[in-house]
Amino acid sequence: MAAPPPPPPLHLLLLLLLLVLPIPLASSSAADLAALLALKAAVAHDPGGALSAWSAASATSYCRWRGVTCHPSSLAVAAIDLPAASLSGALPAALPLPPRLRRLDLAANNFSGPVPDAFLASTTLRYLDVRFNSLSGALEIPPPLANSSSPPCATLTHLRLTGNFLVGQIPAEIVQCRSLRVLDLSRNVLEGAIPRELGRLGALRVLDVSRNSLTDRIPAELANCRELAVLVLTNLTASPGEQPEFNAYVGGLPTEVLTIPALEVLWAPRANLDGRLPLSRNGTCRLRAVNLGQNYVAGTMPPWLGECQDLTFLDLSFNRLEGSMAAELAIGCLTYLNVSGNSVRFFGFCKVATGVAINLSSNQLSGSLDMLSSCISIHNFDAGYNNFSGSIPADVGGLHFLRSLVLSGNNLTGQIPGQFGDLAALEVLDLSRNSLTGSIPLHLTDASHLQVLRLDHNRLSGTIPPSFSELAQLTVLDVSFNNLSGDIPNLRHPADCGFFIGNPLLHQCLGTNASLPPTEEISSSKGVKKWGARFKSLIVILVAASAAVISFLLVILLFFVCERRKRAKISNLRTKVVVTFTDAPPELTYENLIRATSNFSIQNLIGSGGFGATYKAELVPGFLVSVKRLAMGRFQGLQQFDAEIRTLGRIRHRNLVTLIGYHLGEPDTFLIYNYLSGKRSLDPSFSQFGDIVSWGRMLMQEDNTSEFFSRGLLDAARKDRLTEMLKIALSCTSESVAVRPSMRQVAAKLKQLENDR
């Protein structure tokens, strides 16, 4: 998972939309027309009719064919955008391109054949996206012509070839594509080494070579790509049926590469890397996500990781790291820390106070767990199989998001804090294999979502609270090998007698399967004539009668309680209601959200920020929302919160993240937005005109911005001022977070423009 960058100020995209000119109407140019018709001829199947209008009959208006964008003044074809158009057919190697084409997007179709020669020989193409097709053969970049000033491929900034069947090596000639910023070759069948020539691509920002069959060393020359922000060497995230990761490199990750100043994402899990991590690093650390899990990296934990203030994801699990992690990881916004399976010692882990998932299991960590209670937003914490000692801090009761806590296999003493019962979200609690004493606290059974409770191999005494029978989701209750006495409670789910052995004083386990017959069975026993059965019926009647009386009393009690609550100032926080705004579909209910996020599972986590973590939820197939779960306590007044939320809910625009509902309650408060950046901030679908951002950039580079603005705007305002505004808008769409201005800076600049008037 790459931690997604924060969304760009989308209203500036909106501003861009408002400034744009409509597309010109008609033109004709023989080479353009021939190229378009050749592409159409290569399409064997077009079930969606995407190219139905592409025909010689309408040749004069090819600028209006679907997917075609023409240059506004010259009317030459500037872009062809036909992503996910269900097109298939073999592309001929000699397929021509429109002579001034800048952008070609045929992603997610099913084109086969080789990558046509013209694609990588073009001297005008900037953006080439043929991801997820069935292209095959080797990748070949034609040599430069002796008489040409502009070598083939020199203008290309984006080359996206992921998800095809390309074979052979990554050609060293790729260095001719000297403007490349994004090179995505992942999910092909490429083999051999990553060519060292890649190091000469000075503008390269994103390099993804994962899920191929690459071998050999990672070239240290890559470090010459000073702008490199994203480096993906392997990727284990594959859907079922997808090709797994076959890349297996030799040697270690060169120090120079790991310390590229611009590097933000380094992804190389199970990449067969060894070596050590550098102990020092110069300059500001921009790293946001590092995954070197399941390699053979040895040596000590790098102290400089503590300087990486933007680091949100760190997986160093299953390596051979040792040494201490103490103050080094005083990282503010780490949401995922996995150092399980190393030999790390000592540890001041809860400096990582906002961590959502932390896995420290199977190390040699020692000391007390007192700091745990400061990890207030933690969901999953696994510190099993270490050497932690002392008692479990009683203030764990404040960890309201805690879903899973594993402390097994340590040296913990003292009692189990009853405060665990305060944790409404708690599903898994594993305290097994410690030296805990005392009895199982009665209050523990108030943790009503408990599914797995392991307390085995401790020194617990006393009885097992019978109220465990009230926990509807409890499937595992393992208390074996303690010193418990009394009866085994009747559990809702069948339990294994093995979970109770090793307690000599405990009454015999009858197999909890047989313990409490379901109610239906009792009430359907009318026809049974035996005395025993009649006796049972009598009991049933008595029980039913007393139940009726009790229910009556409860109803009266509830009535009074409700009356009191009605008068309370703040509405009932426990109501599991999602407040929705217009357009929200009926599926948007509390239960559906919990289910669709798998109860806020880490798998659905898509990001985290100051106010809490954001999750993706698919409510009905194809309908996605993102759910921002707020860390409570940050809001001063709930009523004020409510008022602000309602204002937000009224704002509606296709290109804005829209608030469609919220839930205010315990233990959760969350906001629900329509789901988009899955969408890149520069996603073509943000505009019916194609990628308006590239268009704006292109015109800016050509110093030709007047084409960008409608005539009305040009009449009303000075062009240099409009250009300045466009410049600001474009800077807001920069792919690099570092370059993107803050809203404060944007506001200041706009104000300055106004004052200059």
Ligand X SMILES: *[C@@H]1O[C@H](CO)[C@@H](O)[C@H](O)[C@H]1NC(C)=O
Chain positions contacting ligand X, by CB under 6 A = 2, 88, 110, 112, 134, 145, 147-148, 208, 232, 235, 237-238, 259, 265, 267, 278, 280-282, 293-294, 317-318, 338, 340-341, 357, 359, 361-362, 364, 366, 380, 382, 387, 389, 404, 406, 411, 461, 483, 485, 494, 496-497, 505, 511, 513
Please state whether beta strands 612-620 and 623-630 pair in parallel, antiparallel, or not at all (unpaired).
antiparallel
Decide if 396 contacts 373 (C-beta within 8 A): yes
Give least dist CB 386 to ligand X, A.
9
Q: Which is nearer to ligand X, 325 or 746 (CB)?
A: 325
Q: Which is nearer to ligand X, 296 or 552 (CB)?
A: 296
- Please state, in angstroms and rounded to a whole number, the distance separating the CA atoms of residues 444 and 421: 4
From residue 301, alpha-carbon distances to 270, 298, 325, 449 in Å are 18, 9, 6, 37
Tokens at residue 706, please? 């007047």
CA nearest to 443, candidates 407, 479, 470 = 470
Decide if 445 contacts 424 (C-beta within 8 A): no
Q: Which is nearer to ligand X, 412 or 725 (CB)?
A: 412
CA nearest to 392, candidates 381, 401, 377 = 381
Give least dist CB 365 to ligand X, A.
9
- Please state, in angstroms and rounded to a whole number, the distance separating the CA atoms of residues 370 and 388: 10
DSSP string, 390-446: EEPPGGGGG-TT--EEE--SSEEESPPPGGGGG-TT--EEE--SS---SPPPGGGGG
Q: Which is nearer to ligand X, 467 or 603 (CB)?
A: 603
Give least dist CB 712 to ligand X, A.
42
Q: Which is nearer to ligand X, 136 or 723 (CB)?
A: 136
Q: Cα 206 from chain centroid?
A: 18
Q: Which is nearer to ligand X, 112 or 373 (CB)?
A: 112
Q: At what angle do helices 10-19 and 719-732 cross, to 10 degrees?
A: 140
DSSP label at residue 5: P
- Please state, in angstroms and rounded to a whole number, the distance separating the CA atoms of residues 467 and 426: 17
- Please state, in angstroms and rounded to a whole number, the distance separating the CA atoms of residues 140 and 127: 17
Q: Which is nearer to ligand X, 393 or 696 (CB)?
A: 393
Give least dist CB 293 to ligand X, A.
5
Q: Which is nearer to ligand X, 359 or 733 (CB)?
A: 359
- Please state, in angstroms and rounded to a whole number, the distance separating the CA atoms of residues 232 and 208: 5
- Helix H or strand E segment including 561: helix 531-567
Give least dist CB 136 to ligand X, A.
9
Give least dist CB 237 to ligand X, A.
4
Q: Which is nearer to ligand X, 204 or 232 (CB)?
A: 232
Decide if 465 contacts 439 (C-beta within 8 A): no
Give least dist CB 462 to ligand X, A.
7
* Sign, Cα dihedral of 164, 165, 170, 175: negative
Give least dist CB 434 to ligand X, A.
9
Q: Which is nearer to ligand X, 483 or 723 (CB)?
A: 483
Decide if 225 contacts 197 (C-beta within 8 A): no
Q: Which is nearer to ligand X, 294 or 312 (CB)?
A: 294
Give least dist CB 121 to ligand X, A.
12
Give least dist CB 611 to ligand X, A.
22
Q: Which is nearer to ligand X, 362 or 608 (CB)?
A: 362
Decide if 159 contacts 184 (C-beta within 8 A): yes
Give least dist CB 271 to ligand X, A.
12
Give least dist CB 357 to ligand X, A.
4
* Sign, Cα dihedral of 163, 164, 168, 170: negative
Give least dist CB 653 to ligand X, A.
27
Give the three-class secondary structure for 654: coil
Q: Cα 107 from chain centroid?
A: 22
Strands (E), 158-285: 158-160, 165-167, 182-184, 191-192, 206-208, 213-214, 230-232, 265-267
Q: Which is nearer to ligand X, 333 or 488 (CB)?
A: 488
Give the three-class secondary structure for 729: helix
Give the three-class secondary structure for 741: coil
Q: Which is nearer to ligand X, 118 or 746 (CB)?
A: 118
Q: Which is nearer to ligand X, 385 or 709 (CB)?
A: 385
From residue 710, alpha-carbon distances to 16, 218, 549 in Å are 11, 50, 77
DSSP label at residue 170: P
Decide if 209 contacts 233 (C-beta within 8 A): yes
Give least dist CB 340 to ligand X, A.
3
Give least dist CB 160 to ligand X, A.
13
